[in-house]
Structure formats: C-alpha cells, structure tokens
Structure 1
Amino acid sequence: MLPLDSEDLLFRIKGGFQLEGMLSKTDESDIKAGLSEAFKDLISKVNSHAFILNGLGGSLYLWPKSHASTSPSELHDDARCKSILKFVTIEVNDSLKRIPKKKSLKITPLKVVNLQMLLEVTRPDVIENVIVHCETKSRLHFRLNLPIDVVVFAKPEDPWGKLQDQFVEAVSSQLSEMEKCIQKYTKGQSVPVPQAFHFELPEKTTLTTVVYPAGISDETLEPQRKELHTELGLGDKPFFRRSMVYQFPNDEINHKYRRTIHKYIPLPNPEDFKIGIAHGSYSYHHYLQDGVNDIEWGSAYRGLQTIISWYKYQGYIDKPIPTHEDFQKMMVNVGEEFVNVVGVTDPIGPFEIESVLTHAGISSNIMNIRPNNQVHMEANELVAHFHQQGTPIIMYVEPMSYVILGVAVNEETKEMKFLVLNVLYTGDDDWSNVIEKGVEWKSLEFWDQREPYDICLPQRPEGV
C-alpha cells in the first residue's frame, strides 16, 4: 500500500494521443500489423523533441527528451524534483492534516503533480522536406485516440534530469502495454480502446498500472487478472477489478462518503496479536446521512449500506448503494411477513439483515454467541473470516447493529481487540471528526457477555 507518511511526489501524466496510420487490407492480421506500425511511430515521437509536457493551469512547458523547459534556470538537470512545485498546482487532500494525531497514524498527505501531454507538430528550428507519394492502391486511414494515464514516483531530492528520462520511459512503456492490449483483444475489425488503471497492492509502496480494453466486462477479463495474481504472487482476493482503482486526492475529496477510514488508525502490535482486517475498500455510512433521521432505528440499515458498498467497490455489484426504502422494498420481495415494512421506522434484526443480503445476491453465515460462550474461540473464528473472506461483518445485539472491520487476538494472554465502525455516529463527515469518532479498536469490554449476539458473516464470491 502507499505509505501514509511520505514526502514522495507522484507525477501523473495524462492526455490523448492520436494513433493513426494506413491499411491496405481490413482483415484482422493486417489491422494488427498496421496498428503495430502506428505504435512504433508514436513511441518514436515520444522519444523525440516533439514530446512536450505542460503543467496544468500554468505556463510551464517541458521537453523531457532534451531536458529543456520554459524555466531553464530553475529546472536544470541538477535541480531537485521539488523545484517544480513553484510552477504547478498541487493536488492534495489537505483535510487529512486535520486528523487528530493522538489517534491516527502519522499522515503526510500525498502530493500529486498533474502534467498534460502534447505532441509538437512542427518545430521552428527544423526545416523538414515534404515528400509527395502517389499511391494507386486503395488504402484506408485509421485513427484511434489513446487515453494515456501514467504515474511516476519521485523523491523531492531526486535530480530533475533523471526524472525527465523516467517520464519518457514511463509513457513509452504504457504505449507498449496498450499495443499488447489491442493485439490481444482485437477481433476481426473490432479494435478496443486501451485504458490504464492504477491499483494499490499490499506489499508495494507505489502504484501498479494495468491496461484493460474498454467495453469488455470484468468477468471476461478474469483470466488476465488471474495471470497478474500468479505473476505477482497474490492470493485469491481481488485487487485488479476496475472498481478497485486507486483514489487520487481529488477523488477522495469529491466522493460523497468517506472511504476505508480505518487505514488511518494504527493496528495493534502484530508481534503480540494475530490480526484479521477487512480487505479492500468500503464507504462509511452512519446515522443522519442523506437527510434521513434514523437515530435509534437505522443502525442495521447503515451497516447494510457499508457491507454492500464493499461488494460494490470490489466489483461484485454494479448498482447504487441502497437507501433505507430500497432495503425495505427488498424485504417485501422476500416474503409476506415483510409486506407492511416500507416506511416503518423500527430496528431490524439478523433475519432481516440476512434476507436483504440474500436478495442482493450475497450469501452469508450467521454466528450465534450466547451468554457465557467463550468469546476467545469466536474471536479466532472472526480472524479466520477476515483472512479467508475479507468482508466487513455486522454484529447485532438487540436493538443495535455494529460493523466489525477487524479482530486482534493475543493467544497467550487471551486479550482481544475489535475494530468497530461506529454506524451510530451522528456528526458530519469532516475527516477529523470521522476518524476521531467513527472508527476505533475496542477491548473485550465492548462485548456485554450477559447478552446474546448474532454476527452476520457475508461471504465473498469466488474469483479475482
């Protein structure tokens, strides 16, 4: 995962390149051959003085191949990478700076430098010869827009000259990956548009970019993802579905709900505890969101919204996160016992929770914990659930529901901790308030062992 406390700069290079060329025939093999030639030509342009980068919203222009710029005195080869910061607008989530330090990990918000790609059509210092070639054969001109999206990480003190070479290498590399994508997925005269997606992986401190063809479903792309999992030594949990794409700072800021908030608070010491944590991403739902006053009755609904958001962001569900009324209508479709539930402001319990998940296509197991049960044994089962399934779980104790995102167990001392997402929170979604009051590791005292508990364990579908 990307470190939360790093001064590294992330340079994001975006833009549209026109891939164009001529075809003498339109069968699949000739189309692929023509596309291959066009890619070679485009890569050669990127590796020439025609390749330009522009700082978005500013007057800075860079010629990476020649290491030239419109500010040569500041951006010379031996300058530090951070020198560019005075010329460009930085994309950063400054709200993360307000997260309380006493509770959170040390956070240095990621700084993203956005650069736009251009290709210089003519150069004023170069006189080119024009050659007119007469061709009597019928030929077809093709043009395909390639949406380039490249990321390059650099330390602030890295030399600027070296970084410019990395820009050229990174864009050239992505064009090569786009050619592979097109060659693989072109069928007949149907040529897909390749698209780049950036993902976080557990053991990597940079992003991993994967190129997928537009218009082809995630289900169809499963073999490609399996190849990536094998190549990178990943398990059977998903990492490369399109919906799991990395959220850049502006994505976080503009998202309606806060996502995956537990990553900002420290884990228990892994040398002392066996730890299981929810895999992937979810959105945080709690009382009073969306203009609905559901205090005292809506905790299960908010838990269900959080659970279904997990399935949505892992790419298993492609629908909006349901509202309270949506859930009640699902219950009506389940059976006659729910026929009058729409509009009712009563809490719902484990049967209703399981019924709604089943209606949404999500299977689940129910764990019953009765007074005097050995909670330690159950906690180990929950750790195993997070390792194997990775889904958040809902714990119900009448009349409230809670979302559990993780469990930590010390086998020697029997000490236990539970990572609780507080769906009862009634405040705003400011980052500092959400981290302060929305998520916390709680001790065994969180459980009232005189009360019965029902825990809903949603199951993850097979496949990556």
Structure 2
Amino acid sequence: MPPKLTVSQNVINRLKNVHEKLAGNLYGVIHKNTLLIIGVNINDHQQDSDIINGFPTGIDIYGVVSVGNRTLEEDEVKRITGDVDVTDTPLYMSCILGPAQNVIETFFTINNQLEKTSYEIISEKDIYSQFVHIRLITELPFVSGISPQLIKDSFSNLRKQLINGQVVFNIPKTNIFLMGVECEENVLLGLTGDPTVGEICKKSTAFEEGYTSNLKKKKDVIEMDFLRMVMMKKATRDSEVDFKIHTPVVHIDKCISEMVKVTLKVDTLVIVHKHKKLVTLYSLLVESCCRFLRLLEGIMVNNVKLCNGDNSYISPLETFHFFPELCGHFITRTFIKNESEELREKTRRLLHKQLLLPLNQPLFRTGNRFIFDGDAQGGGILINPHENLNPIKNGGEIALVKGKYRYYHYCQNNMDDNGWGCAYRSLQTLASWFLLQGYTDREVPSFQDIQKCLVDIGDKPSNFLGSKQWIGSTEVNFVLNSLLNITSKILYVSSGEDMASKGPELVYHFKNHGSPVMIGGGVFAHTILGVDYNNLSGEIKFLILDPHYTGSEDLDIILKKGWCGWKGVKFWDKTAYYNMCLPQVPTCI
C-alpha cells in the first residue's frame, strides 16, 4: 500500500515558477506511512553532483520529477525511477508547463504501473513542528597517502571503523549515552524509560549544549528544535569479550612516499520525527557521519594538487550549514580554504540552478551560514530586534529591511564611544547586513578599520587615526564602497520637517534593495530600518534603530525604552539638515 503523500509548499512554489523543460529528483522523509517531500534537485548531466550528501541524514531520494509539456509514459517513468532504492513505490511528479500556472500531478509506481495519487501541501512551519534536527559534531584522525585512490581507500577504512559498533553518542554535559552493540539492540544509558526525541528536546533547556532555536519570518514563525550530540570512540575492548592475542607481523617496504595527516572536523545534521525513539537513532547517527565523510572524500579527491610534479598537498576544509528560506531545508557545504572566488562562484551558480533558486542573490556564501544557538554570532550582539515590535497602525504602505543585521550601538566591546561614535555604529550595522546576506565575506569593520580606510583613500589626514572625530553619511558611503565594494545613493533633506517628502523614495529602497539606511543630521546619526508611508495623507512613520543606546544587550529594555521603534516626523530636528546613505544591493550570487 503506498504511503500518504505530503509535499512542502516550498517545493510546489519552486516548481510552479519553472518556465523550461527539465527533470530531477525528489527528496523526502517518511514516518508512519506518510511520505513528506521536502526538497527537489534538478539533474545536470554535465556535472557529477552528489548533492544527497549535503542534505540532512534521514532525507533520501523517494522519486523523480519532470517538467515539460506532457506527462511521461510509464516506460519512461520506470527507467528514470530505477535508481530510487529506498522504496518499492517510487513517486513520480509531473509538472506541466502552463501559460498562467504550471499544473502538478503525482503518481506512485505500483506493480510497474502508474497510479495517480492526491497530495497535501504542507507549510515549513507545520513541517518543523513535527521534526527535530540533531547536530552531530566530532573529530576524526585521518592519515592517507596523497593520491586519489589512496584517499578513497583511507576514507573507506575510516567508515568501516564507524560501523563496527565501537562508537558511542553523547548529549554534551550530560551522562546520556547511546551505544550500539553487535547482534543486539541499541543501548541507552543515563535515562530511564524509552523517551522519544521530542521528549528529550523538551528537556534540553536544562542541558548546556542541547538547545532550541527560532527562525523568524515577517508574517509567521518557524520554530525549529535542535539537539546537539557528539560522537566518541571506545578506547578499550569490553572486558567480557574473549579474544585471542596474536604475535604482530610487521612488513617493511622502504620507499619514498608522501602522507597527509589531518584531523577531520565532522559537523553534520540528522532530521528525525519527534515521535522517534531516541534509542533507535544509533544507525542513523552512524550513517550521518559516513555520509559526511563521503562528502569530504569527494572534495579531497577532486582537489589533490600537484606542485612541480613532486610535492603534493591537500587544502584545509571548513564546513557550514545553510537554511535559505527560499529552499526550505538545510544544505551542508564544505569549502576549500583559499579557494579562488571565481571557482566558488561557479560552484554556487550550479547549486542555485540545481535547487531552482534565484540567480541574483547570494544564498550559499559563508556570510549566509546558519547561526545555531551557542555558536559565536558577533560577540552576543542582538540580531533583528525590530522583529519583536508590535505592528504599526499608520494606514500606509509598510516597507522594511530584508534579512538580518546586527544592532551596533555605543559602548559595545568595552569601548567608550559615547558622544561621538553613533555614525560608526550605524555603519557597522549596515556592514553587518551585507555580511549576513552574503554580499561580502569581510567581517564588520572596527573603528580602526574605518578610520584607516578614510585616511588611505585621502579623505582624512593621518592624525584622524585614533581620534574621536565624528563621521557622517558621506564617510559611510566612502567606507562601504572602499571596503565592501558597495555603492550608495545619497538623499539630502534641508530640514527635519521635510523628511516626509522622502517617503516614496524610502519605500522604493526598502522594497527593491532592503538594506538598512544610515541618516546623519546635526550631531546625531541613526539607522532607518523601514517606513510606513500613507500616500494619500502624506503621513509617515520611520522604524528607527538608535545607536546612542549605552546599555547591555537587553531586548526588553531596548524595545520598551524606544531604542528600536517607530517614530513620527517630529522625531527629526526641524532646524537641522539631513543626509541619508542608501546602500545599493549588487546583483550577484
């Protein structure tokens, strides 16, 4: 009997926006005879892509999709579903191109025949209310000769060591251990009863390293539960196991050879239903580690480099997890350090095409990486405090900053810039937005970086370095352009009373660029995060992020005291002129 079928709203949206013929795979997870299709990947026959190793373990290929002018014949479907080996009833999704909207139909392959089936569309919020992500972190020693075949052999031996039952999993800072025993059921130590993963997540607030995180959207909230685990390897044999001791035999082969010895940093994700028993996760966690090693193997094999024919080396690797909202699920990417930007951009472009993602904005640069609770994220600086404000009621068109930024303000990082550093802090907020959106990989510039930049380009004399001199919107424009290669538009207002006249231009900026705006006037600088502009009455409200705040990162105080909040035209000084720096978003990937 085929399972009940549910499909992510995100998958439906991406397929309905396709305007050309193509084919690909459908990725999903199954629980209690319900198949959830959570991802889609378009095949590119010119590239050897092993994208399945980038999905969280637990997600597998459950079917195929074709986009075109017709539904495929049964023989064609049988041929293209031949590689689907996790189910006897692979799914076939047909997306018929239409002038107004594509039409999507689904079929299960049952007894070599197509049987049409209905499907239910499910939102990301509903998906992640049912599932938990487990983040598995460990380190593994890796020793290998430097050649593609030797690297493959070494990775194969490493994976064999993981599947022999000699590894255990632990929730950090607890005595909870999950063990695998050959020919017996898994063993759970440190807990009584038979808890589910969801029950453990509810208790995880008591664990320092077990944690829960939230992804926030403008109109809705996706609550995502995470559980962190580490893997350890048994250092000794079980005392009750009888084994024979043999005299070691050593074979010596004298030759010149090169070896690589590194510590592989494993950081991988598993997705499981909340009702799954914790004790049953052992094999899934082992497979997650093995899948990650296959990902590293492919990268290492493809990037063994030869220098002058006799020296070889393997570039260091770094791994990040990404959760593009347009994608709706995690993708894990491993990067080669010091790899050329040209090659990275080529790889990103291919990934965007495979996942049916737009080609005009970065989603898989290091700045786009997902920040887990407990990870370093700008020294504890608040991210997007405005999302916790109550809705404004001005009756106009609301246009807000898009994406994430950090709230920089006076006296952070033990630096006393009270009275002179507000424009620097606003500039740092703008720079953080471009970093967190992936438009740059450069970290947010320090005060020293900002002052040195202005001296280097000839805007300021050398004695500006280390001073407490103010800067304004013009200097913010120079620094963004020089350090981040970001151009800006400057708006001039002769008086605070005229700020309402810039309502249409600010609405256009936030709708089309979405970057925060720095505004300077008189002796003060602020950051504008959005506007509510009533075109009929001319009434306007500004969403202001105030860099003059000197307290700790206390969100309640910041919101209650209005350091982040909606302000009217009277907020601006009617005797001062204002300059606004509107950073323009580049088209890139």
Determine the structure 2 residue equivalent to 1:33: 149
Determine the structure 2 residue equivalent to 1:456: 581
Instruction: Report how far residue 440 of structure 1 moved.
Output: 2.7
Evaluate the alpha carbon distance shift between residue 180 and residue 262 of structure 1 in structure 2; reply closer, same or farther with a 3 A threshold: farther
Instruction: Report how far residue 167 of structure 1 moved.
Output: 1.7
Determine the structure 1 residue equivalent to 2:303: 185
Determine the structure 2 residue equivalent to 1:439: 564
Determine the structure 2 residue equivalent to 1:397: 521
What is the rounded CA distance, in whole Å, between the counterparts of 1:177 and 1:68 in structure 2? 27
8 A contact 2:452–2:465 mirrored in 1? yes
8 A contact 1:92–1:109 mirrored in 2? no
Instruction: Report how far residue 379 of structure 1 moved.
Output: 2.7
Aligned to 1:89, which of 204, 207, 218? 207
Instruction: Report how far residue 32 of structure 1 moved.
Output: 0.8
| Partner deviation per Cα, 1:196-217 (whole Å, 9 max, x = no partner) | 2112311456533111224435
What is the rounded CA distance, in whole Å, between the counterparts of 2:421 and 2:352 in structure 1? 39
What is the rounded CA distance, in whole Å, between the counterparts of 2:536 and 2:234 in structure 1? 64
Matched, 1:71 2:189: yes
What is the rounded CA distance, in whole Å, between the counterparts of 1:83 and 1:295 in structure 2? 45
Matched, 1:348 2:471: yes
| Partner deviation per Cα, 1:291-323 (whole Å, 9 max, x = no partner) | 555445432122122223334554725356322
Aligned to 1:59, which of 175, 180, 205? 175
Matched, 1:118 2:233: yes
Evaluate the alpha carbon distance shift between residue 196 and residue 128 of structure 1 in structure 2; reply closer, same or farther with a 3 A threshold: farther
Evaluate the alpha carbon distance shift between residue 443 and residue 177 of structure 1 in structure 2; reply closer, same or farther with a 3 A threshold: farther
8 A contact 2:133–2:225 mirrored in 1? yes
What secondary structure, in the 3-state scheme, does the structure 2 residue paired with 1:190 have?
Answer: strand
What is the rounded CA distance, in whole Å, between the counterparts of 2:238 and 2:524 in structure 1? 69
8 A contact 2:187–2:279 mirrored in 1? no
Matched, 1:375 2:502: yes
Determine the structure 2 residue equivalent to 1:251: 375
What is the rounded CA distance, in whole Å, between the counterparts of 1:154 and 1:212 in structure 2? 26
What is the rounded CA distance, in whole Å, between the counterparts of 2:244 and 2:569 in structure 1? 77
Matched, 1:231 2:349: no
What is the rounded CA distance, in whole Å, between the counterparts of 2:381 and 2:367 in structure 1? 16
What secondary structure, in the 3-state scheme, does the structure 2 residue paired with 1:251 have?
Answer: coil
8 A contact 1:56–1:114 mirrored in 2? yes
Determine the structure 2 residue equivalent to 1:99: none
Alignment of 1:10-409 (within 5 A): 10-21=133-144, 23=145, 31-64=147-180, 67-71=185-189, 74=192, 76=194, 79-83=196-200, 89-91=207-209, 112-118=227-233, 122=237, 124=239, 125=241, 127=243, 132=249, 134=251, 138=255, 143-154=261-272, 156-188=274-306, 189-203=312-326, 206-216=329-339, 220-235=343-358, 236-251=360-375, 255-265=379-389, 273=397, 275-280=399-404, 282-313=405-436, 314=438, 316=440, 318=442, 321-323=445-447, 327-335=450-458, 341=464, 347-360=470-483, 361-369=485-493, 371=498, 374-386=501-513, 390-407=514-531
Instruction: Report how far residue 156 of structure 1 moved.
Output: 4.4
What secondary structure, in the 3-state scheme, does the structure 2 residue paired with 1:456 have?
Answer: strand
Instruction: Report how far residue 111 of structure 1 moved.
Output: 5.2
Q: Identify which range, 241-250 or 175-184, moves more after superposition.
A: 241-250
What is the rounded CA distance, in whole Å, between the counterparts of 1:410 and 1:278 in structure 2? 20
| Partner deviation per Cα, 1:363-403 (whole Å, 9 max, x = no partner) | 322123453874342133212442xxx43221233332221
8 A contact 2:400–2:510 mirrored in 1? yes
- AA partner of residue 391 (structure 1): S
What secondary structure, in the 3-state scheme, does the structure 2 residue paired with 1:182 have?
Answer: helix
- Alignment RMSD: 4.4
- AA partner of residue 115 (structure 1): V
Instruction: Report how far residue 149 of structure 1 moved.
Output: 0.8
What secondary structure, in the 3-state scheme, does the structure 2 residue paired with 1:212 have?
Answer: strand
Evaluate the alpha carbon distance shift between residue 74 and residue 81 of structure 1 in structure 2; reply closer, same or farther with a 3 A threshold: farther
- AA partner of residue 222 (structure 1): E
Determine the structure 2 residue equivalent to 1:100: none
What is the rounded CA distance, in whole Å, between the counterparts of 2:538 and 2:354 in structure 1? 38
What is the rounded CA distance, in whole Å, between the counterparts of 1:445 and 1:153 in structure 2? 51
Instruction: Report how far residue 410 of structure 1 moved.
Output: 6.9
What secondary structure, in the 3-state scheme, does the structure 2 residue paired with 1:15 have?
Answer: strand
8 A contact 2:175–2:190 mirrored in 1? no
- AA partner of residue 295 (structure 2): E
What is the rounded CA distance, in whole Å, between the counterparts of 1:342 and 1:454 in structure 2? 24
| Partner deviation per Cα, 1:92-134 (whole Å, 9 max, x = no partner) | 68999xxxxxxx9989796543323325674553647968585
| TM-score, normalisation: structure 2 | 0.62
Instruction: Report how far residue 416 of structure 1 moved.
Output: 5.5
Unaligned runs of at least 5 residues, structure 1 = 97-103
Evaluate the alpha carbon distance shift between residue 123 and residue 342 of structure 1 in structure 2; reply closer, same or farther with a 3 A threshold: closer
**RCO higher in 1 or 2 (8 Å CA, sep ≥ 6)?**
1
Determine the structure 1 residue equivalent to 2:21: none
8 A contact 1:419–1:439 mirrored in 2? yes
What is the rounded CA distance, in whole Å, between the counterparts of 2:542 and 2:266 in structure 1? 43
8 A contact 1:93–1:109 mirrored in 2? no
| TM-score, normalisation: structure 1 | 0.76
What secondary structure, in the 3-state scheme, does the structure 2 residue paired with 1:250 have?
Answer: coil
Evaluate the alpha carbon distance shift between residue 419 and residue 13 of structure 1 in structure 2; reply closer, same or farther with a 3 A threshold: same
What is the rounded CA distance, in whole Å, between the counterparts of 1:377 and 1:150 in structure 2? 46
Evaluate the alpha carbon distance shift between residue 70 and residue 354 of structure 1 in structure 2; reply closer, same or farther with a 3 A threshold: closer
8 A contact 1:110–1:249 mirrored in 2? no
8 A contact 2:408–2:425 mirrored in 1? yes
| Partner deviation per Cα, 1:186-205 (whole Å, 9 max, x = no partner) | 22322234332112311456
Determine the structure 2 residue equivalent to 1:419: 543
